Chain A
Amino acid sequence: MVDWQVLLVGEFRYVLALVVLVVGFVVGYLVGRLNKRLLVAAHVPEAVEGTTFERTVRSLGTTTVSLFARLSSWFIYGLTIVVALHVAQLLPAEVFLVRVTNFVPDLFVAAIVLAVGFVVADKAELATSERLKSVKVPEIGIVPRIVKYSVVYVSALVAAGQIGVDVGALLVMLGAFLIAVIIFAGLALRDLLAASAAGVYLLLNQPYSIGDQVEIGEHHGVVQEMDVFVTLIESDNQEYIVPNHLVFRKGAVRVREY
């Protein structure tokens, strides 16, 4: 049997620390390379293209992918240094070391969560603004912003929770915010939601279509236009704009004159 303990005494421990350092750096570098390849293979570069995060990172002379890869490398480098110092017994207090080794992975995960959060937030902002492009209201630009900052907020919450910051107050804020949004949407958009729910049915099934004579409530006329929210019916001189939920509530009569 080789007595491994002999390696930890005397001058040997410095050699061992050096070995640990070298191995650690090599492993860190390789993991970084591997991560980069994995991320590229998972089409991450295409996915993050055009996000503000990617642009910011690029202005710092790197890319999202290499940033993530480097992050994992740095994590291993840091761990290596701590282990090497431990082996060389250069660190005075054992307690401090334990705390650091417990804390580093948390910090690492938090950093990853934050970075992923930013990328997802940018992506969500892009996707929403793309969706809303056809909505020609200038103020619509605020919706993608809200989506973006909500995602950033949640990821910051998760990251803060990860490194042990007390997130109770922030959670309460998030809850209040969500409830406000839901109540606001429920109150303000109630009619629109009802109309669009009915409108989806009307558009899919088309119980009546453009050119039909219909009677909705007390309005009688020819259907001129149908969209998700309203049905336009026109009689001799008047054009009625009937919200689609009224079509459901009051029913529509199709008039045949043959």
Chain B
Amino acid sequence: MADLRELAADVVEDVDALFLFSPSGSYYEECTNLDTDVVVIAPENTVSADTFVELPLEFGDVRNRIKFGIEGALDRGLVEGGDTLACAVNLFSSDIDTISRVRADDSMRSGVYDLFVNSRADPNVIRDVLEVAVELGKKGQKGEPVGALFVVGDAGKVMNKSRPLSYNPFEKSHVHVGDPIVNVMLKEFSRLDGAFVISDSGKIVSAYRYLEPSAEGVDIPKGLGARHMAGGAITRDTNAISIILSESDGLVRAFKAGELILELDPEDY
């Protein structure tokens, strides 16, 4: 019977880089003494690593987390396509407890990194909206599941491709997503029909919007309803992205350029 260490050695053999997901300071120190490149992926660069990819969300799904990290590293040229990577992540505890061997190739490009970093809207704004949607998905409105549709970025164009369903409660207001009051407010307004329109800098421009994009050539998974269709289609017509909380299955989905990029289960957070 081979030594357990040998099994582990197979996993990390000949890797081109080591990806550390939210490492502790001492763990990072130890890893910098190795002769492999180290890339840190975390919500904040607490260990002051040189090569760092910011994680906008603590993805509950480890697969998403790793994909995001690799996509970010590929995008920024920290690693090259085809490199073999060892990813050290925390799966069950808050410390790193899992190492997985991954090949960085195009199948890793899910577009989530692109969604955050290369969209018109500020990454922080997208993160805030996702958090609001997740929160809303978790708690619902008075215990009942609710749906919501947020269109983020390129607000001028979105406003021109939509019409009001009723008076805009956010008219002449200066509410930004990320303001503490917003969670409560959006929870109340989520019973309204229509979309929320949010500008590049995070200002909530309008609620109650009926989106009128041309739905031509939009390819969204069958079985999703009118809300997803409208939300997906508007991202084809404009440079906005949309973040949609489904009323029926409770998942949060993000669309960019008419394509489904990200699917999250609010219960995982």
**A interface residues, Cβ below 8 angstroms from B:** 203-206, 209-213, 221-225, 227, 233-234
Contacting pair A210 B174 (CB below 8 A)? no
Chain B residues positioned under 8 Å from A203 (CB to CB): 174
Contacts A/B (CB < 8 Å), 20 sampled: A203-B174, A204-B172, A205-B172, A206-B172, A209-B172, A209-B205, A210-B155, A210-B156, A210-B199, A210-B205, A211-B155, A211-B158, A211-B159, A211-B206, A222-B160, A224-B155, A224-B157, A225-B156, A225-B199, A225-B200
State whether B200 touches A211 (Cβ < 8 A).
no
What chain A residues lie within 8 Å of B156 (beta carbons)?
Answer: 210-212, 221-225, 233-234
- Tell me the complex Cα distance, A206–B201, Å: 17
Closest residue on chain B to residue A203 by CB atoms: B174
Contact A210 B159 (CB under 8 A): yes
Residues of B within 8 A of A223 (CB): 156
Q: Which chain B residues (193-241) contact chain A, with CB distance < 8 Å?
A: 199-201, 203, 205-206
Q: Does B71 contact A (CB under 8 A)?
A: no
Q: How far is the CA of A206 from the CA of B168 in the complex (A)?
A: 14
7 more contacts with CB within 8 A, not counting A212-B156, A224-B154, are A204-B172, A210-B155, A210-B159, A211-B159, A211-B160, A211-B205, A222-B156
Question: Within the complex, what minimum Cβ distance (angstroms) separates A177 from chain B?
Answer: 36
Q: How far is the CA of A227 from the CA of B206 in the complex (A)?
A: 16
Q: Cβ of A224: which chain B residues have Cβ within 8 Å of it?
A: 154-157, 199-200
Asked if residues B199 and A222 are in contact (CB atoms below 8 Å), the reply is no
Residues of A near B206 (CB, < 8 A) are 211
Q: Which residues of A contact B157 (CB under 8 A)?
A: 211, 222, 224, 234
Residues from chain B with Cβ under 8 Å of A211 in the complex: 155-160, 205-206
Cβ of A210 and Cβ of B203 under 8 Å apart?
Answer: yes
